[in-house]
């Protein structure tokens, strides 16, 4: 897999424990007048990762530059999958208000950054 951008090496390569991962397929489900509903596959759906990372102030600045300037919030990039440890192609899933990530104060000069990523098929 060739990607134009890769998660910067200066950012954490391991996510915090407790990340979530969801997988699925695009399935059309049609209710019937009698009996069970009919289902058929319509295609692949991206898997979704909800991750959190510990970051320092310099790492936050790197993330901001990477997400907002390099990716412009939309580009695909290579990211180390937390479970398989393989590089996968992902995009940041923006929140309802367009936010790319959330920052929570943790310790002096340390924050928890949370974001959603979709693993592209």
Question: Residue 38: helix, strand or coil by DSSP?
Answer: strand
pLDDT in tens, 64-82: 999 999 999 999 999 999 9
Would you write out the chain's pLDDT as a tens digit for each of its 121 residues? 678 999 999 999 999 888 999 987 888 889 999 999 999 888 888 999 999 999 999 999 999 999 999 999 999 999 999 999 999 999 999 999 999 999 999 899 899 999 999 999 8
How many degrees, rounded to 5, is the angle at CA 97 between CA 55 and CA 23?
A: 70
Which one, of 112, 120, 95, 115, lies nearest residue 43 by Cα? 120
């Amino acid at each position: 897999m060739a990607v134009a951008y890769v998660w910067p090496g200066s950012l954490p390569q391991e996510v915090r424990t407790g990340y979530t991962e969801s997988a699925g397929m695009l399935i059309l489900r049609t209710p019937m007048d009698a009996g069970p509903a009919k289902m058929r596959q319509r295609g692949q759906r991206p898997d979704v990762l909800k991750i959190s990372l510990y970051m320092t102030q310099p790492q936050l600045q790197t993330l901001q530059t990477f997400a907002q300037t390099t990716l412009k919030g939309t580009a695909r990039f290579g990211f180390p999958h937390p479970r398989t440890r393989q590089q996968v192609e992902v995009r940041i899933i923006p929140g309802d208000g367009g936010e790319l990530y959330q920052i929570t104060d943790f310790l002096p000069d340390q924050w928890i950054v949370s974001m959603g990523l979709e693993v592209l098929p």
